[in-house]
Amino acid sequence: MSDLTRIPAPDGVAPAAQYTHVVTGTGRLVAVSGQLAQDEDGELVGAGDAGAQARQVFENLRRCLAAAGATFDDVVKLTYFVTDMAHMPAVRAARAEHIRDDRLPAASAVQVAGLVRPEFLMEIEALAVVAA
């Protein structure tokens, strides 16, 4: 695990409710491509169910991070691409299963018109910093 510093509310910036404004660290950068709600065979998990899809996406992120020697404690940035902002409570619930509130990374949430296939409700990518 790298030594990360989180700055939740820099001077003059409104406090963050569900993320940290700034995360700094030194070490090796790990970039995880956007993950979808697919099982190991590439099959959709949770058709029409934002909660099931979010849980699968976070499980895929966990596996990708582990492959690089990282954990969610090392994540400095998450980017959420959702087809409807109404899916964000499900995303936050799945995130809470993996990331403690005192370890929240920087984050961006973007509503998109669509993803690679219409049955996917979200795609999430991660950046982590792991001790060198």
Task: Compute the distance between CA of residue 42 and CA of residue 44 in angstroms, rounded to an integer.
Answer: 7
What is the pLDDT averaged over residues 68-95?
98
Give tens-digit pLDDT for 6-19. Answer: 998 899 999 888 89
Task: Compute the distance between CA of residue 58 and CA of residue 35 in angstroms, rounded to an integer.
Answer: 8
What is the pLDDT averaged over residues 99-109?
96
pLDDT at 125 over 60: yes
Residue 17: per-residue pLDDT = 84
Quick one: pLDDT band at residue 1, thresholds 50, 70, 90? low
Task: Compute the distance between CA of residue 20 and CA of residue 35 in angstroms, rounded to an integer.
Answer: 21
Task: Name the CATH code of domain 20-130 (choices 3.90.1150.10, 1.10.760.10, 3.30.1330.40, 2.40.110.10).
Answer: 3.30.1330.40
The distance of Cα 100 from the centroid of its chain, to the nearest Å, equals 13
Quick one: pLDDT band at residue 132, thresholds 50, 70, 90? confident
Q: Output the pTM of the full model.
A: 0.93
pLDDT at 131 over 80: yes
Give tens-digit pLDDT for 28-44. Answer: 999 999 999 999 999 99
How do the domains of the chain map onto residue ranges? Answer: 20-130
pLDDT at 101 over 60: yes
Quick one: pLDDT band at residue 2, thresholds 50, 70, 90? low
Burial code of 101-111, b = ≥16 C-beta within 10 A, e = fewer?
eebbbbbebee
pLDDT at 24 over 70: yes
Residue 85: per-residue pLDDT = 98
Check residue 128 and report its DSSP letter: E
Sign of CA dihedral 17, 99, 104, 47: negative
